[in-house]
Amino acid sequence: MPVTLPHETRKHALTSLKRFWNESLDAEVSDLQAMALLDFFLKEIGPSVYNAGVAEAQTYLRDRLEDLESTCCEPEFTYWPKSASVRRK
């Protein structure tokens, strides 16, 4: 699955990338260059970040599912105390 960004997110990413480039490297970068660089990052590095996020989510969910019984289980037949004896006639 290709990693894509919504329009507004992409716009903010490009603005941030251009600002980083200008302030850190003391060089101007054009809109076209910034778009090409962002597309490269999304295509080349994006899948690694995405896969790491999926792996973390799987681990988190697996840990929660293992503990599901103790977290979500209610004891049954607790109306009568365990020490109560059965009344006989």
Domain coverage including residue 46: 7-72
Are 50 and 74 spatial neighbours (Cβ–Cβ below 8 Å)? no
**Is 88 domain-assigned?**
no
**Is 84 domain-assigned?**
no
**Is 79 domain-assigned?**
no
**Beta-carbon neighbour count of residue 47 at 10 Å?**
13
What's the total number of domains in the chain? 1
**Is 78 domain-assigned?**
no
Mean pLDDT of the chain: 89
- Characterise 74 by phi-psi region: left (phi > 0), alpha (psi -120 to 50), beta (else): beta
**Is 77 domain-assigned?**
no
pLDDT digits (tens, 9 = 90+) for 36-60: 999 999 999 999 999 999 999 999 9
**Is 80 domain-assigned?**
no
Strands (E), the chain: none
